[in-house]
Structure 1
Amino acid sequence: MNEVVPSLTMVRRIKAPPAAVFEAWTRPEILARWWGPHHTMVLSAEIDAQVGGSFRVTLVEDTGARHTVSGTYAEVVPGERLVFSWAWEATAELVSRVTVTFRPVPEGTEVTLVHDRFANEGTATRHRRGWTESFERLVAEFEKAA
């Protein structure tokens, strides 16, 4: 009997070209404006978006609580695809994987995010909320720039 490993898949359309959306994921000064749920802000972001490079983002909640997530890039195809590991500092032993693809569409970019290899369904559910709100902030970031 195979155990089902929880995952989530999200697809969003953003009114910007794939290269610009890719930059929003790989340039710390842009990522800091949209990354994380609504009740958080990025305190620091370090990104070395190349195969074998790493990222580290620290979020601070409205309550003052801080959370740091980091990972290593397994694939980096500019304007097309990112694959990286994902581990919260507080639970570093629980490593999951994020795959983000950027596909040109007539109105901009279709972004598909697959976050898989979660430890359990509860973790997948919490991440779905976080990614949903992050995508809302990302869409708003590009609407402000338009």
Structure 2
Amino acid sequence: MYKFTLEGMLNASVSDVFDAFSKPELIVKWCAPGRLTVCKYIGEISVGSNYRLVFESDDGFRQMVEGTYNLVEKDKKLSFTWRWEDTHEMTKVCVSFVAIKNGNTQFELSQVGFKYHNDMLQQQYAWLDCLEKLSRILPASEPNAVLQAL
């Protein structure tokens, strides 16, 4: 099984970063790689709840991700399953948040359970792109985001 971990710092409060990961109205603004957009988020962010993200490309092509929230600790940690609709491969995402000096947030995002190395690499690059988008929508006083892939 393959896995990856991304670590980074965002120039925003833990509360703002956690909200971006846990409020549907914010998730739709950043959680789509490349030129994709989130055209629909369905679900509730609470332990045991299912969710569905519908992505759309410029030409109208749609893809869907679905999963279940396993852990929700406000301003600390989220864990959820992740499955693209066209596969049976279920992976697990865990994101942790730590407040650091100057009101910034250190985060760690890991995704585990990939059967194929290329699938893992594609998902890692997608998260990097999404996190870059996130850094642009957060309320910050200076340029955002320092990312590192492990």
Structure 1 length normalisation: TM-score? 0.91
- Is 1:102 the counterpart of 2:109? The answer is no
Q: In the aligned structure 1, how far is the partner of 2:43 from the partner of 2:9?
A: 24
Structure 1: unaligned runs, 5 residues or longer: none
Give CA-to-partner distance per residue, 1:29-86, whole Å, 9 cap, x none.
1111111112111110123111101221101122322110011011110100001000
Moved over 3 A (4+): none
- What is the 5 A alignment of 1:1-146? 5-91=1-87, 93-107=88-102, 108-142=104-138, 146=141
The 8 Å contact of residues 12 and 105 in structure 2, kept in 1 or not, is answered as yes
Distance in 2, Cα, partners of 1:14 & 1:131: 15
Measure how far apart 1:119 and its partner are. 1.6
Alignment partners' CA distance in 2, 1:82 and 1:119: 23
Q: 1:27·1:47 contact (CA, 8 Å) conserved in 2?
A: no
Q: In the alignment, residue 68 of structure 2 is paired with which amino acid?
A: T
Residue aligned with 1:69, SS? strand
User: SS of the residue aligned with 1:90?
Assistant: coil
Does the Cα contact within 8 Å between 2:16 and 2:138 map onto a contact in 1? no
Residues 98-126 of structure 1: CA distance to partner in whole angstroms, max 9, x if unpaired?
Answer: 00001111141111100010121010010
Whole-angstrom distance in 2 between the partners of 1:23 and 1:90:
29
How many Å apart are 1:20 and its aligned residue? 1.2
Report if aligned partners of 2:99, 2:105 keep a CA contact under 8 Å in 1.
yes
Q: Which one has more relative contact order, counting CA pairs under 8 Å at least 6 apart? A: 2
CA contact (8 A) 1:12 1:135 kept: no
Aligned positions, number: 140
Cα separation, partners in 2 of 1:136 and 1:64, compared to 1, 3 Å: same
Greater CA drift, 70-79 or 41-50: 41-50
**Aligned mates of 2:21, 2:89 — CA distance in 1:** 22
Structure 2 unpaired stretches of 5+: 142-150
Give SS of 1:68's match.
strand
% identical equivalent positions: 26
Provide the secondary structure at the position in 2 that maps to 1:32: helix
